[in-house]
Amino acid sequence: MESNKKYWKGLEELQNTKDFAEKSKNEFAEPLPMEEVLNEAGLSTVAPRRDFLKALGFGLGAVTLAACQKVPVHKSIPYLVKPEEIVPGIPNYYTSTFNGHSVLVKTREGRPIKIEGNPDCMLSKGSLDAKGQASVLDLYDVSKLKGPVLNDADATWENIDKFLKQELLQVKTGGKKIRIVSSTVNSPSTKAAIADFTAQYPNTKHVQVDAVSYTGMIKANENSFGKAVLPRYRFDKADLIVSFGADFLGTWISPLEFSRQYVSKRNNTALEGKKMSRHIQFETGMSLTGSNADARLPLKPSEEGIALLNLYAALGGVLSGSKPLANNPNAEKAIALAAKELSAAKGASLVVSGSNDVSIQIVVNAINALLGSYGTTIDLDNPSYQFAGNDAEFVEFVNEMNRGEVDAVFFLNSNPAYEFNDAKAFTDALSKVKLRVSFADRKDETASLCQVIAPNHHYLESWGDSNPVEGYYTIIQPAINPVYNSRNAEQGLLIWSENPVTDYYQYIQNNWSKSVLAQSGTTWKELLQKGSVTLPAKSAGVYSFSRELNSVVQTIIAESNSLAKGGENGIELHIYQNVAIGDGKAANNPWLQELPDPVSKVTWDNYAAINPKFAEKLGIAELDLVEIKTDKYSVTLPVLLQPGQATGTVSVALGYGRVKAGKAGSEVGKNAYPFLRLVNATLQISTSASISKASGTYQLAQTQTHHTIEGRNIVRETTLKNFLKDPTAGTGHAHVNKYDLWNEYEQPGHNWVMAIDLNACTGCGACIVACNAENNIPVVGRDEVRRRREMHWIRIDRYYSINDGDNRITKEEEIDKLENLDNVSVVHQPMMCQHCDHAPCETVCPVLATVHSSEGLNQMAYNRCIGTRYCANNCPYKVRRFNWFNYWNDSRFDNYMNNEYTQLVLNPDVTTRSRGVMEKCSMCVQRIQAGKLAAKLDKRKLKDGDIKVACQQTCPTNAIIFGDGNDPESEVSKALKSERTYYVLEEINVKPGVGYQTKVRNTVEV
């Protein structure tokens, strides 16, 4: 069935603005200066004969001289004593832990070059998110400190230890307080080290504070059930998920784990069982999670609490003094519908909220208890320790400093001078502390205010452990000697507190053999090999809710009123984390900065997201600069028109506007932390503000507007109802012309193909960073992205469509007439070289630099390429990338390939491409060759799954499957046999090697 739903890549395309129409015709973002050359002056320019000859002679001379250069002598320096486990040329893998997820670190000749998820990891099951993939680059970051710093001067560790022991002794005799401020610590050994330190200096207290706080939830759980923890959510057990602003696929608590769970109810296996979960999202800005929802409703921050109260009431909860949702009849209808569905799905449903307001979270708890979620979709007995920060404790700490009660403070993985909403109050208070120590790896905003900076190891250099959820313990082991002169923070604490064990490695080993190893009967070696220990889980108990909600209701209504106070140009400001940069700790990572936001596709900046119709009302156009102002703080940001954004609201991302992040991350975007509001001892992510147009515009570096789909039917989707009737629904198999320009060739060996399930892809972008790391893809920077010159081999295209049940919007004029763009739905489509069997790019290459292999790969021989770019022009999928510069040898692109430290991350099996050369997805041919060779060396057949390409390996939801299409038993062959399979642009008969499975949406007609 041909789908006649209309998709558009962005508003420019939807409205077909003049600018867009103009641009879509041009090959380059910037016009070529042909006029300048061809104008009269240009044409009448005379090159004097003598000058010409001079230039010619000089050129010839220069070339001759250059050719006289001796061939460089290459040295080959073997190990003096080769470590037994290292064979040059063969990678070694070590287990470690990133952010509580067990990972495998791939090292070549002793240097980590790639991080991959550990298949044994309970949370990720072998996948990894974009941040984890990018973390290896931070290891070599040149903006890090090269050694410890004492009073702004380079120091030795002996000096630091001597100085601190002396100072701490004075503090101890003085009797004043010592504070260790950190983000959440869930490492048992770090906790033990802090406890030992506290035993030596009894005035010490450990204050945990997270940049983005979950205090509200923790307190609500304490209030409701007496357990001050974050529960473990089980999205894999929920048939119906209703989320109020919780971006659980992108940033909320444990997105990697949640993505896997969520998609397990929506992937091919689930659909073959004729089942699919349903997901309703109420939210302000368009988040990654909202873009995946079956039904998404824009909701202002002020309406969130009210909506939840109404939902509770509709479910039969006893409530007094609620109020209806004014001015949002759609939401009200949706709440009623959600209530009906939730009641039907009791015991298999889940309601979550991204709010940090205790009252709102109490209502959420009440709803979940009413639905019987505890014990099924929510597990309070095996809680998550991923976040444990307490806002109130930190505020109290600032007060203590102000009162002069604190004499010493240590900052561990915490940067309040940037992350705290009232940074000035914090820095003023900090100046009253005598001894200030930071463990930051760089001179960041807080560390630069400290006397001592004792740089901590990167996790790939250090020993450590982690306990992200109850009963799951992981180990961090070093994969390289410290790159710079850094030291474990814990080791410092042990030394300064005169601990009998000062070697942190020994300390961890002692700690583990006492506790987890003894309990589980594992040995230390087994632990290092496996990476983690899982203790048997406790059974999840059922909890009932029995609190009185009167005061909660009053607080919610009061807070709602204060948010919605309006006024002239009044808006509700919503502060969020985006998927790549998050809280801004890794802001100096160029891979993350260049990773496009999953929805807006903006790189290298944050922006003010506004609903297009609302912006029109305010007289604001796209890319205008606007000033967003509260009584305390204001910023000027460019506008991004975001369909689906709640009217009357503006969303701004955190993590930008750092001033001391380093070369790549400083002065990128604007800081939004000061907009956070401390209400009832928790930091709130929304506030009421005003917006006004500032002068000027600002060009955001967006990737999605770079190509146009010319109204072609590229993404296909259907509804669950139609799918159940006809599994091929929505595939829209077009008439394929049998006429063919190309000859058929046998592929007797392998036939490498790929299957991508659009229903499993959430659009998180982990594959993009994994591809960057695997294939040495350069980072080009903001200016070059603006010129459409980003180099990513895999991109995730985001398409909008108007979601209107069965009433498909069939004509583009109809879309124009739509009153609002609230009810918009999104499809994410990973797009890379399709390795067409009849590839149009191959035909037009004048030098045969791109040819086909007998295994179905579209190969690219860089050294043959002369850069005509005909292939890119002839590629129907626009996946070819041209090297406009020598990114690895050009000081203008000082990202990572151009630096002797950061280029250590390059994969030695993949060539770095030179200027003037075309490149594109190679299907990780180096991995294919390595996998084949391994089979040949073992004298065995190649097994399905032996070769995993980088994007597939890291995908949190297994949306990408790669394998041999000639093997009927391979996973990819089975996936491609699915009735949902279609090929992009199959009507042009280029026979792509990548098949897509249609997106299925579980929509219900209202």
Partner 1 sequence: MRSISLFFRSVTKSLILISFLSVATANSASAQDAAAGAAIFKQKCTACHGIEKAVVGPALKGVDTKYDEAFLLKWIKNSPAFIASGDAQAVKASQYSPAMMSAFPELSDDDIKNIIAYVKVGDPKPAVDPNAAQAGAGGTATPVGVSNFMLFGLLAVIIIAFLVVLVLNKVIQTLERVMLQKKGVAIEEEIAVDKDRFAGLKKLSKNKKFILFIVLLSVIFLGSAGWKGMWETGVHTGYQPVQPIKFSHQLHAGVNKIDCQYCHSGAYSSKNASIPSLNVCMNCHNYVTASEKYAGKTSPEIMKIYTALDYNQDTKQYGENTKPVEWIRIHNLPDLAYFNHSQHVSVAGIECQKCHGPIQTMEEVYQYSPLTMKWCINCHRQTEVNHKDNPYYDKLIAAHDKLKKGEKVTAAVLGGLECAKCHY
Size, binding site for partner 1 by CB under 8 A = 46
Please check whether residue 293 is in contact with residue 261, taking contact to mean a CB–CB distance below 8 angstroms. no
CA distances from 969 to 55, 582, 963, 975 (A): 65, 41, 10, 10
Query: What x/- string results for residues 749 through 768 when contact with partner 1 is judged by CB under 8 A?
Result: x-------------------
Q: Report in angstroms how near the CB of residue 962 gets to partner 1 at its nearest.
A: 16
Alpha-helical runs (H) found in 838-888: 840-844, 870-874
274 binds partner 1 (CB under 8 A): no
* Given 709, 876, 911, 987, the residue binding partner 1 (CB under 8 A): 911
Structure tokens at 778: 């350069």
CA distances from 344 to 280, 293, 309, 701 (A): 15, 19, 19, 46
935 binds partner 1 (CB under 8 A): yes
Radius of gyration of the chain (CA): 29
Query: What x/- string results for residues 701 through 740 when contact with partner 1 is judged by CB under 8 A?
Result: ----------------------------------------
910 binds partner 1 (CB under 8 A): yes
746 binds partner 1 (CB under 8 A): yes
Q: Report in angstroms how near the CB of residue 888 gets to partner 1 at its nearest.
A: 11
* Given 523, 940, 945, 977, the residue binding partner 1 (CB under 8 A): 940
Taking CB under 8 A as the binding criterion, the range among 234-242, 559-567, 852-860, 888-896 that sits at the site for partner 1 is 852-860
933 binds partner 1 (CB under 8 A): yes
Q: Report in angstroms how near the CB of residue 495 gets to partner 1 at its nearest.
A: 25
What is the DSSP secondary structure assignment for residue 235, as one 8-state letter? G
* Given 185, 401, 650, 860, the residue binding partner 1 (CB under 8 A): 860
263's enclosing H/E stretch is: helix 255-264
Q: Report in angstroms how near the CB of residue 601 gets to partner 1 at its nearest.
A: 28
628: CB partners within 8 A, 6+ apart: 571, 573, 608, 634, 635, 636, 637, 650, 652, 675, 689, 690, 691
Taking CB under 8 A as the binding criterion, the range among 176-184, 294-302, 437-445, 905-913 that sits at the site for partner 1 is 905-913
678 binds partner 1 (CB under 8 A): no
* Given 327, 807, 843, 863, the residue binding partner 1 (CB under 8 A): 863
Which amino acid, residue 318?
V
* Given 24, 630, 859, 899, the residue binding partner 1 (CB under 8 A): 859
397's enclosing H/E stretch is: helix 391-402
942 binds partner 1 (CB under 8 A): yes
Please check whether residue 664 is in contact with residue 594, taking contact to mean a CB–CB distance below 8 angstroms. no
- Residue number with CB closer to partner 1 (52 or 79): 79
Structure tokens at 354: 């991204």
* Given 46, 47, 77, 153, the residue binding partner 1 (CB under 8 A): 77
Closest CA to 299 of 336, 339, 338, 327: 327
71 binds partner 1 (CB under 8 A): yes
Buried b (16+ CB within 10 A) or exposed e, 789-814: bbbbbbbbbbbbbbbeeeeebeeeee
Helix axes 489-496, 504-514, angle to 10 degrees: 90
Structure tokens at 430: 């900090």
* Given 44, 69, 76, 151, the residue binding partner 1 (CB under 8 A): 76
Which amino acid, residue 234?
R
929 binds partner 1 (CB under 8 A): yes
843 binds partner 1 (CB under 8 A): no
53 binds partner 1 (CB under 8 A): no
78 binds partner 1 (CB under 8 A): yes
Taking CB under 8 A as the binding criterion, the range among 13-21, 210-218, 513-521, 933-941 that sits at the site for partner 1 is 933-941
Closest CA to 710 of 7, 37, 104: 7
- Residue number with CB closer to partner 1 (50 or 939): 939
753: CB partners within 8 A, 6+ apart: 835, 856, 962, 963, 964, 965, 972, 976, 993, 994, 995
The sheet carrying 295-298 orders its strands as 295-298, 278-283, 240-244, 349-353
874 binds partner 1 (CB under 8 A): no
* Given 862, 870, 885, 901, the residue binding partner 1 (CB under 8 A): 862
Taking CB under 8 A as the binding criterion, the range among 360-368, 532-540, 904-912, 950-958 that sits at the site for partner 1 is 904-912
Q: Report in angstroms how near the CB of residue 894 gets to partner 1 at its nearest.
A: 22
* Given 90, 199, 518, 659, the residue binding partner 1 (CB under 8 A): 90
* Given 33, 48, 89, 536, the residue binding partner 1 (CB under 8 A): 89
Which amino acid, residue 971?
E
533 binds partner 1 (CB under 8 A): no
What DSSP assignment string belongs to 401-447? HHTT-EEEEEEES--HHHHSTTHHHHHHHHTT-SEEEE--SS--TTG
> Which parts of 571-600 interact with partner 1 (CB under 8 A)?
none
* Given 500, 521, 619, 748, the residue binding partner 1 (CB under 8 A): 748
107 binds partner 1 (CB under 8 A): no
Closest CA to 96 of 479, 413, 486, 384: 479
- Residue number with CB closer to partner 1 (90 or 528): 90
Structure tokens at 260: 């896997």
- Residue number with CB closer to partner 1 (658 or 948): 948
Closest CA to 311 of 322, 302, 300, 299: 322
- Residue number with CB closer to partner 1 (817 or 939): 939
**Which residues would be at the binding site for partner 1 (CB under 8 A)?**
71, 73-82, 87-90, 746, 748-749, 851, 853-855, 857, 859-864, 909-912, 922, 925-926, 929, 932-933, 935-937, 939-942
